Amino acid sequence: MARIRPFRSDDIDGLYDVCVKTADVGADATGMLEDDALWGDLFAVPYARRDPGLCWVVESDDGRVIGYVVATDDTDAFAAWFQDEWWPSRQDRYRRSGASEPTAQDRFIAYGDRQAPGDDPIVREYPAHLHIDLLPETQGQGLGRRLIDTLLAELARRGVPALHLSMNAANAPAGAFYERLGFTQLASGDGSTTYGITIPAASLR
C-alpha cells in the first residue's frame, strides 16, 4: 500500500521523474522538451528546495516516489526567490534554440524568465499556491485528496487564509477533482484555469 510521508532531500530525483511523467495534461511528457529536467525545475523542485515543510511525497511499497504535492505559502515571496536565486542557478543548463519559431522548450524557458512578484488580485486573496502530480498507479486510493488535506492542515497551522492553483484548461478530470474538494473556479484564459479555496478560519491555529 502506497503511503504519504514528508519530503526528504533524497526525493529530488523522484520529483523530477513524476513531474515529467505527468506533465502532458497528466500523461508522460518524456521527450517533449530538449531537456526533460526543465519540467521539474519549473514546477516541482524549487518548491521543495525553498520550503520542504510544504512538500509531501507518495511512496510506493518498493520505495519509489510515485506522487507529490509541493507548495508555497506566499506566492509573491516565492516568485522573488525564484527570480533572484533559483532561476539564475538553472539558466545555464537551458539554452534557447534561436529558431524563428520558438520551440516548446523555448516557451517554457520564457515562462521561467517571466516569474516575478506582481500585483495580482487572486494572489492577494489566495496567497498560497500548489502543484500536485500523481502517477497513474496511484489512482483510486484517495491519495490526491489526502495530499491536499495534509497541505491545507499545514497552511492552516501557519495562518494562511487561502490557496490557489492554475492548471491546463484541457485537463477536465483534474478540474472535477478540485471541485469535489471544494475549490471554486476563479478565472480562465490563455489555456489555463485557476481554482481557489479558502481555509476556514475555524481551522487556523
Instruction: Provide, rounded to the nearest whole percent, the portion of the chain with pLDDT above 90.
Output: 92
Confidence check: pLDDT of 181 > 70: yes
Question: Would you state the pLDDT for residue 190?
Answer: 82
- Secondary structure of the chain in the HEC alphabet? CCEEEECCHHHHHHHHHHHHHCCECCECCCCCCCCCHHHHHHHCHHHHHHCHHHEEEEECCCCCEEEEEEEECCHHHHHHHHHHHHHHHHHHHCCCCCCCCCCHHHHHHHHHHHCCCCCCHHHHHCCEEEEEEECHHHCCCCHHHHHHHHHHHHHHHCCCCEEEEEEECCCHHHHHHHHHCCCEEEEEECCEEEEEEECCHHHCC
pLDDT, the chain, mean: 95
Res 153: pLDDT: 96
Mean pLDDT across 181-195: 93
**pLDDT confidence tier of residue 204, bands split at 50, 70 and 90:** very low
Question: Is the pLDDT at 57 greater than 70, yes or no?
Answer: yes
For residues 126, 127, 128, 133, the Cα torsion angle rounded to the nearest 10 degrees is: 60
> Do 174 and 167 meet the contact criterion of CB atoms below 8 Å apart?
yes
Residue 33: band (very low, low, confident or very high) from pLDDT cuts 50, 70, 90 = very high
What does the pLDDT look like over 6-25, one tens digit per residue? 999 999 999 999 999 999 99
* pLDDT for 202: 46
* pLDDT of res. 139: 83
> What residue ranges do the domains of the chain occupy?
3-203
Q: Does residue 27 surpass a pLDDT of 50?
A: yes
**Using one digit for the tens of pLDDT, what is the confidence trace for 94-149?**
999 999 999 999 999 999 999 999 999 999 999 999 999 999 999 889 999 999 99
203 band by pLDDT with thresholds 50, 70 and 90: very low
Given a contact cutoff of 8 angstroms between Cβ atoms, the answer to whether 122 and 183 are in contact is no
What gap in Å lies between CA 127 and CA 121, rounded to an integer? Answer: 10
CATH of domain 3-203: 3.40.630.30
pLDDT of residue 140: 85
User: Tens digit of pLDDT for each residue in 72-102?
Assistant: 999 999 999 999 999 999 989 999 999 999 9
CA separation for the pair 137, 142 (Å, rounded) = 12
Residue 4 β-bridge partners: 58
Answering whether pTM is above 0.85, one says yes
